[in-house]
């Protein structure tokens, strides 16, 4: 057995462990564990500094998980976009491939609680139906291996799936969504990365939420992926008590860049049954974005998105930078709240005037194709070159 598998085995994962380790009432522990499984491996457990800290909140169950009756289990209507159980196909050219229901840790805020954690073994038939669907849909050029955590699979099983995808000519890129670099960095082994690099272009998106997760072990794991030519991005979830603070987020994105990980998305927490206590007002997210853009490397600034309830996909939310218009001037503010004006190009000016100078025509030529066409027509009438 590999080290990471041994570490998984040593996880806190039963109701009894919750009682022994965290002093839960036995009855509560059983109830919570039945609702959504607990799994905290010794590495992630070692990152906890005190009860209720940002690491604890992400992995130790909370009695409030039992309170959220009436909230949806599938807030993003992923089932509605699932032509076969292993695929969620919402966007035109890319699809999620849910390769396993297992995770190396069960995040208390998970939006896919309904799907992950069930111990049912994934069958080859389940995987094959996903491969068949993707292969029958030539519009899918980007496949995102997700789950659960695809790196819970053994290298052999993972390679079968990735090789299966690579054999489909229209699949241009393969992305792997995995929390391993954050929660169990020991999973990133040299044999894993040498397998992955045979199937480029491969991208990895990982999931760090707090600067305390940026340990030397995590740095090593991300470095190994990057050394194998795999660009690594990060998706964070904004959560009350974990990272709903601009200083914490600034520290996180800077640390990620240092670990060669590019912050990609910051998600507004979804309205999921059993995870409502993590939600923050959108104003908090906007404030954080306001304190990132301009204040640190643009490379460190993720997109802040709300995954639209009901399945509308990710919608980017930005602080207001355009304050208004004054005639043809756009009034804007910068990251320091200083006001600037930009004289816009007026659509009116673009109309053909009496002055048919070459210069004007040249400028117009660079506009839309529609205009380019008009220009060509006129060129025949008024030869200018
Ligand atoms: C997030 C997501 C994707 C990928 O979106 P990108 O913006 O391309 O990263 C694809 N499908 C589903 C269902 C998703 O939720
Ligand atoms: S790793 Fe992802 S899928 Fe698994 S519990 Fe955490 S958020 Fe959910």
Mean of all residue pLDDT scores within the chain: 90
User: What is the pLDDT at residue 361?
Assistant: 54
Q: Is 75 in the pocket of ligand 2 (CB under 6 A)?
A: no
CA distance 21 to 45: 10
Measure the CA dihedral 354/358/363/369, to 10°. 80
Residue 349 has pLDDT above 70, yes or no: no
- Written as six digits, the tokens of 51 are 């009860």
Q: Is 270 in the pocket of ligand 2 (CB under 6 A)?
A: no
Distance 148 CA to ligand 2 centre (A): 6
> Residue 37 gets which letter from DSSP?
-
User: What is the pLDDT at residue 347?
Assistant: 72
CA distance 79 to 133: 15
Tell the residue nearest (CA) to atom 1 of ligand 1: 314
User: What is the pLDDT at residue 129?
Assistant: 96
90 is catalytic: yes
| 231 vs 363: which has the higher pLDDT | 231
Phi, psi of 263 (to 5 degrees): -60, 130
At 227-261, the pLDDT tens digits run 999 999 999 999 999 999 999 999 999 999 999 99
pLDDT band at 376 (very low <50, low <70, confident <90, very high): very low
User: What is the pLDDT at residue 68?
Assistant: 73
Distance 342 CA to ligand 2 centre (A): 44
- For residue 142, the cross-strand partners are 94, 173
Pocket test for ligand 1, best of 81, 90, 173, 206 (most atoms within 8 A of CB): 90
* Mean predicted confidence (pLDDT) in 278-291: 98
The closest alpha carbon to 108, from 50, 188, 164, 52, belongs to: 52
Residue 378 has pLDDT above 50, yes or no: no
| 283 vs 351: which has the higher pLDDT | 283
110 is catalytic: yes
Residue 369 has pLDDT above 90, yes or no: no
CA distance 43 to 286: 33
Q: Is 314 in the pocket of ligand 1 (CB under 6 A)?
A: yes
Residue 374 has pLDDT above 60, yes or no: no
pLDDT band at 381 (very low <50, low <70, confident <90, very high): very low
In the chain, % of residues over pLDDT 90: 78
CA distance 327 to 241: 45
At 291-339, the pLDDT tens digits run 999 999 999 999 999 999 888 999 999 999 999 999 999 999 999 999 9
307 is catalytic: yes
At 41-63, the pLDDT tens digits run 999 999 999 999 999 999 999 99
Tell the residue nearest (CA) to atom 8 of ligand 1: 94
CA distance 232 to 249: 18
Tell the residue nearest (CA) to atom 6 of ligand 2: 107
Q: Is 94 in the pocket of ligand 1 (CB under 6 A)?
A: yes
Specify the range with the lowest mean pLDDT, choosing from 179-193, 313-327, 339-353, 366-380.
366-380
We find that the CATH architecture of domain 79-316 is: Alpha-Beta Barrel (3.20)
Specify the range with the lowest mean pLDDT, choosing from 108-122, 190-204, 361-375.
361-375
Tell the residue nearest (CA) to atom 8 of ligand 2: 110
214 is catalytic: no
User: What is the pLDDT at residue 121?
Assistant: 67
31 is catalytic: no
User: What is the pLDDT at residue 120?
Assistant: 62
User: What is the pLDDT at residue 112?
Assistant: 84
Contact between 95 and 144 under an 8 Å Cβ cutoff? The reply is: yes
At 107-164, the pLDDT tens digits run 999 988 887 886 666 788 999 999 999 999 999 999 999 989 999 999 999 999 999 9
Active-site residue, selected from the candidate residues 74, 149, 244, 270: 270
Beta strands in 81-134 (DSSP E): 87-88, 94-98
Q: Which residues contact 270 (CB under 8 A, 6 or more apart)?
A: 75, 76, 111, 307, 309
94 is catalytic: yes
> Residue 278 gets which letter from DSSP?
G
User: What is the number of alpha carbons within 13 Å of residue 105 lying toward its C-beta?
Assistant: 28
232-238 and 303-308: which strand pairing? unpaired
* Mean predicted confidence (pLDDT) in 196-223: 98
């Amino acid at each position: 057995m590999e080290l990471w598998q041994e570490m998984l085995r040593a996880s806190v994962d039963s109701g009894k462990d919750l009682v022994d380790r965290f002093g839960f009432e036995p009855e509560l522990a059983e109830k919570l564990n039945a609702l959504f499984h607990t799994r905290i491996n010794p590495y992630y457990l070692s990152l906890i500094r005190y009860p209720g800290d940002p690491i604890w909140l992400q992995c130790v169950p909370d009695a409030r998980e039992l309170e959220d009756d009436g909230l949806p289990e599938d807030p993003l209507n992923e089932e509605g976009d699932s032509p076969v159980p292993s695929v969620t196909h919402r966007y035109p050219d890319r699809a999620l491939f849910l390769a396993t229901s297992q995770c190396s840790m069960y995040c208390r805020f998970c939006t896919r609680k309904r799907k992950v954690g069930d111990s049912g073994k994934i069958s080859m038939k389940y995987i094959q139906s996903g491969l068949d669907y993707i292969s029958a849909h030539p519009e899918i050029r980007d496949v995102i291996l997700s789950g659960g955590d695809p790196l819970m699979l053994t290298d052999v099983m993972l390679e079968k799936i990735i090789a299966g995808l690579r054999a489909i000519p229209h699949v241009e890129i393969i992305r792997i969504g995995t929390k391993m670099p954050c929660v169990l960095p020991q999973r990133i082994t040299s044999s894993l990365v040498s397998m992955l690099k045979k199937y480029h272009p491969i991208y990895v998106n990982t999931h760090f939420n707090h600067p305390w997760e940026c340990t030397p072990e995590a740095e090593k794991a991300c470095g190994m992926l990057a050394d194998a030519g795999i660009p690594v991005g990060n998706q964070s979830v904004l959560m009350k008590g974990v990272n709903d603070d601009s200083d914490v987020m600034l520290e996180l994105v800077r640390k990620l860049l240092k670990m060669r990980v590019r912050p990609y998305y910051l998600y507004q927490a979804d309205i999921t049954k059993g995870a409502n206590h993590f939600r923050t007002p959108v104003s908090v997210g906007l404030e954080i974005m306001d304190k990132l853009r301009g204040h640190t490397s643009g490379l460190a600034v993720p997109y802040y998105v709300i995954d639209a309830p009901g399945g509308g996909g990710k919608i980017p939310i930005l602080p207001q930078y355009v304050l208004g218009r004054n005639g043809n001037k756009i009034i804007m503010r910068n990251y320091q709240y200083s006001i600037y004006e930009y004289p816009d190009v007026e659509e009116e000016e673009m109309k053909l005037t009496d002055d048919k100078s070459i210069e004007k025509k040249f400028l117009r030529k660079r506009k839309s194709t529609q205009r380019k066409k008009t220009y060509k027509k006129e060129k025949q009438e008024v030869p200018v070159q």
